[in-house]
Amino acid sequence: MTEATTLPLEHALILSGILFALGLLGILARRNVLFVLMSIEIMMNAAALAFVAAGSRWHAADGQILFILILTLAASEASVGLALVLQIYRRFGTLDTDAAGELKG
Amino acid sequence: MYDLLYLVFAFPLAGFLVLAFARGRVGERLAAAIGVGSVGLSALLTAALAGQFLSHPPAGGAYTQTLWHWMSAGAFDVRFALRLDGLSLSMMGVITGVGFLIHLFAAWYMRGDEGYARFFSYMNLFVASMLFLVLGDSLLFLYLGWEGVGLCSYLLIGFWYKDPANGAAARKAFVVTRVGDTLFAIGLFLLFHSLGTLDIQQALSLAPQQFAPGSPTVTLITLLLLGGAVGKSAQLPLQTWLPDAMAGPTPVSALIHAATMVTAGVYLVARTHTLYELAPFSLHLVGGVGAVTLLLAGFSALVQTDIKRVLAYSTMSQIGYMFLAEGAGAFQPAIFHLMTHAFFKALLFLAAGAVILACHHEQDIFKMGGLRKKLPLAYACFLVGGGALAAFPYLTAGFYSKDEILWQAYASGHIGLFWAGLFGAFLTSIYTFRLIFIVFHGEYRGHGEVHAGHGLAYGLPLVVLLILSTFVGGMIHQPLSGVLPANPAEEGGALQQQVAALSGAVAIAGIALAGALFLGERRFVARLAQSAPGRWLSRWWFAAFGFDWLYDRLFVRPFLYVTRVNAADVFDLAVAGIATGLRALYRGSVRSENGRLRWYAASMAAGAVLVIAAVIYL
Amino acid sequence: MEFAFDLSAAVAVIATLLAISSLDPVHALLYLIVSLLAVAMVFFAIGAPFAGILEVIVYAGAIMVLFVFVVMMLNLGRAAVEQERRWLTPRVWAGPAVLALVLLAELLHVLGRMPAAAGIGEGTIGARAVGAALFGPYLLAVELGSMLLLAALVAAFHLGRNE
């Protein structure tokens, strides 16, 4: 993968922005907890893409390091979040986020 | 020796604290021991200090003891300092000496009262505050004592607070004197503004350099200080509270409303005499206020039926004499009269208390009568004290001081003040002996058995004050020459003899007239009072020339009207508006917190959008 | 390489759109996996092969499989799909869509104002360089990450227990 051709950094960042906005749309539009978690994964992935692209721009490994850290975060988040999904399903019998709204003021 | 000066006020203050904190847990004997003992110790110490002062005067005629710095802010630096000079020593002697005797009498008078310890705690606080007032080296310190005695006056007038009338009298005294105190405070601000100091000695030495004689500033300052003085001393136009203040226990009337507190105004004017000498208009006004008050109070005293109200009006009238003297530039006779007045008026009030208790709390003089056989000691006290009040020639203390005032007024060219004082003396002897003849002569018209008091606490104060009210009190020499300016007129000479003879003759004529009118059947007085102008005049005088009525129409009713109109309080609307706005905000935020995860996320996203937009476009 | 980048990017965007709009969770997950694989291709295209490999192995391989397992455990049937259809009305997604579009427009605006950027993908940063940096200056971050994973493990174990 060591082609001499280059492409502008903006393109990668634009892709990252689009994916991020899609993830946001998913969080805001879906009521199912599972989809909300997936959307969060999308957003994190978008952020990771921006890091990697920036690291590539500067020929530095730091971008990929941060990608690995985000990966770690995503794994932790997914495991805890999915455990919570299981609990919610057990308690309320549904995956509707609005069902778990007892904490409101 | 001088460094024990602070103990003079520390004893009563400690007495107040002990009694106040041990409320209800000390018996009468212990409360009396603490209350009377603390003032007694002060009196002993004052006597020792006076001995030291007279035998070994301090350098410069004054000793200043700085206890600590009260406050210091920029150029504003107030020391908590006591100043002992001839004037404050004289005042201290009156306060602790007469105060001790009155406390001792009160131990007898108040026995059996459920507020016994409370009474003595207030009295001790009063003595301490009054000592602050006269010992204060700074006008701010003086003001502290000034307000302290006002508070104690309020507490003690309303001492029997279960009767609403007493509470109303206390409130009236407090509010009316507050008017004067506010003027006084403004005067202090103005004084500090122009001189940059509230230290009395500094201010007095700076004033002649700072102010041209008669300049508007110094006139305004002295007028404002005079406002405070007339409020405290019950002079025109703030005199209306004193007769009502008689609602308090009689020893209170003796101590606060005759001997000490009400003379604070006289002390204030004397203390700041340098300022008044720079403002001739104010000084004339002081004399005028005194002259008018002494005449008005004299007429009112003629027709009163309550034994204590007669004495209250006579107090106003006598303080009028002191103001008159100061107006004539005779400060030393004013302070001298202050002292003799403290003696004989305290004596009269204590004797009146003895009479009132003997007649089962009866204060109407027309329900007494013929008491001279049943209460010989009180009768003797009233004869001597009334004689001093009427300035009976040569035998009584009052004669020496009042004659001095009249002579100085005459000799310094204040002829108007002189004639007013002379006519006032005539009135004084009439109403004083009217009181004595009605109470002690004729037939007893009251109900119930009259029984005289007995015991040391009853007899000793009366006897000591009785002795001091005779010429013995007139012999006392006050070391005032270094503090107060010399008298405007020379002593001695044939002219003074003539003035003395004239005033003595006027006093005796007044007594004779009172005897003619009020001894025996009093048919002439009754006919006079029944005639139309007589009825009208006596009603007018009885109401003290209708000042209460006037103030009620001028101030009280308009104020009450405004409060009624403004019952909903327009100014509260703004404050309530804050509360309403906050409640609306609260309801809005409660609605925003609906437990919907997506709503929260959308809020955060919208916030992020807004922040980024702000970063981009701003 | 520009072609590879553009193609993968287009696949990623379309797959993501399908993932968030799909009614069946299993379909959504499969679209998401496609999207992640496409992003992995993007990584390869911009010269970050190590990141691309991790994306495939960890993201698509492990995390997504976790999701699949959970969906299987929940055993959602046709009723769930019907419910999703009822929930996903235009009235529900129109507002969020506007919000997301505004955010995107702002991001694009910022990018448009950037000075002409240098290119990316000129060289490759391989696993060797990343590893050297990871266990060199970033050692502390790695330790912190391991603590985070441990905590997540404990939490997931605790939450997932059947009380």
Q: Give B169→chain A minimum CA distance, Å.
A: 56
Tokens at A47, concatenated: 């952020």
Alpha-carbon span B224 to B238, nearest angstrom:
13
Rounded Cα–Cα distance for residues B451 and B77 (Å): 58
The Cα–Cα gap between B226 and B427 comes to: 26
Nearest Cα neighbor of B224 from B193, B255, B189, B259 is B189
- What sections of B304-453 are H helices per DSSP? 307-327, 331-358, 376-389, 397-411, 415-440
Separation between Cα atoms, residue B344 and residue B395, nearest integer Å? 13
The reply to whether B532 touches chain A by the CB within 8 Å rule is no
- Tell if the CB–CB gap between A29 and C151 is shorter than 8 Å: no
**The predicted structure's pLDDT at residue C117:** 62
Concatenating the DSSP letter of every residue in A42-72 gives HHHHHHHHHHHHHHHHTT-SHHHHHHHHHHH
Sign of the CA dihedral running A15, A17, A23, A28: negative
Q: Residue C10's closest chain A neighbor by CA?
A: A15
Residue B418, phi then psi, degrees to nearest 5: -60, -50
Residue C96 touches chain B, beta carbons under 8 Å: yes
**How many other C-beta atoms are found inside a 10 Å radius of the C-beta of residue B69?**
11
pLDDT at B372 over 50: yes
Nearest to B605 among A24, A31, A104 (CB): A24
Q: Hey, is the C-beta of B610 within 8 angstroms of any chain C C-beta? A: no
- Distance (Å) from the alpha carbon of A98 to chain C's nearest alpha carbon: 12
Pick the more confident residue, B327 or B526.
B327
pLDDT digits over B165-200, tens only?
A: 888 888 888 988 999 999 999 999 998 888 888 888
Nearest by CB to residue A61, choosing from C103, C117, C130, is C130
At A78, the pLDDT band (50, 70, 90 cuts) reads very high
Separation between Cα atoms, residue B163 and residue C8, nearest integer Å: 98
Query: Which residues of chain A neighbour C109 with C-beta distances below 8 Å?
Result: none
Can you say whether the dihedral through the CA atoms of B189, B195, B196, B197 is positive or negative? negative
* B–C interface: beta-carbon pairs under 8 A: 21
Q: What is the three-class DSSP state of B105?
A: helix
Pick A28's closest partner by Cβ from B590, B595, B601: B601
From chain A, pick out residues whose CB is under 8 angstroms from the CB of C54: 67-68, 71
Residue B325: partners with Cβ closer than 8 Å, 6 or more residues away: B290, B331, B333, B334, B337, B405, B408, B409
| Exposed/middle/buried for residue C97 (C-beta within 10 Å: 0-12, 13-18, 19+) | middle
B306 pairs with which residues across the strands? B364
Residue ranges in B94-215 assigned as alpha helix (H): 99-109, 116-135, 139-157, 164-195, 200-210
In whole angstroms, what is the distance from residue B38 CA to residue B104 CA? 11
pLDDT attached to residue B355 = 87
Which pLDDT belongs to residue A102? 67
CA B295 vs CA B9, B170, C66: distances in Å: 37, 26, 108
CB contact under 8 A, A97 and B598: yes
The pLDDT of residue B110 is 86
> Tokens at residue B179, please?
């008017």
Average pLDDT of the segment spanning B438-442: 83
The beta-carbon neighbor of B596 closest among A27, A36, A98 is: A98
H-state helical runs in B441-493: 456-469, 471-475
Q: How confident is the model at residue A101 (pLDDT cuts 50, 70, 90)?
A: low
What is the per-residue pLDDT across B447-492, written as a single tens digit (0 to 9) for each? 777 777 778 888 888 888 888 888 888 888 888 777 788 877 777 6
Residue to substitute from A73, A76, A88, interface C, most C β-carbons within 10 A: A76
Q: What average pLDDT does the structure give for chain B?
A: 86
| Res. A5: pLDDT tops 70 | no
The kind and range of the H/E element at A79 are helix A62-92
Average pLDDT of every residue of chain C: 88
Q: Report the pLDDT value the prediction gives residue A103, as an integer from 0 to 100.
A: 61
Helix (H, G, I), strand (E, B) or coil at A102: coil
Q: In percent, how much of chain B has pLDDT > 90?
A: 12
Report the pLDDT value the prediction gives residue A92, as an integer from 0 to 100.
83
Residue among C36, C58, C40, C57 nearest C48 (CA): C40
Q: Does A30 touch chain C (CB under 8 A)?
A: yes
Reply yes or no on whether the pLDDT at B109 is more than 60.
yes
Q: What is the pLDDT of residue A1?
A: 42
C46, C159, C162: residue with CB nearest A52: C46
Give residue A42's pLDDT band: very low, low, confident or very high (50, 70, 90).
very high
Is the CB of residue C31 less than 8 Å away from at least one CB of chain A? Answer: no
For residue B597, how many other CB atoms are within 10 A of its CB? 16
**Mean pLDDT of the region A20-41:** 91
Q: Does B574 touch chain A (CB under 8 A)?
A: no
Point out the residues of chain C with pLDDT beneath 50: none
Q: Is B1 on the interface with C (CB under 8 A)?
A: no
Q: What chain A residue is nearest to B590 in terms of C-alpha separation? A: A105
Is C100 an interface residue toward A (CB < 8 Å)? Answer: yes
Are C59 and C36 in contact by the 8 Å Cβ rule? The answer is: yes
Cβ of A28 and B590 within 8 Å? no
pLDDT in tens, B117-152: 888 889 999 999 999 899 888 888 889 899 999 999
Chains that touch B (3 or more CB pairs under 8 A): A, C
Three-class SS state of B76: strand
What pLDDT shows up at residue B300? 87
Q: Check B597 against A36: CB less than 8 A apart.
A: yes
Which one, of A86, A40, A97, lies nearest residue C84 by Cα?
A: A97
Instruction: Give residue C100's pLDDT.
Output: 92
Residue C111 to chain B, least CA–CA distance (Å): 11
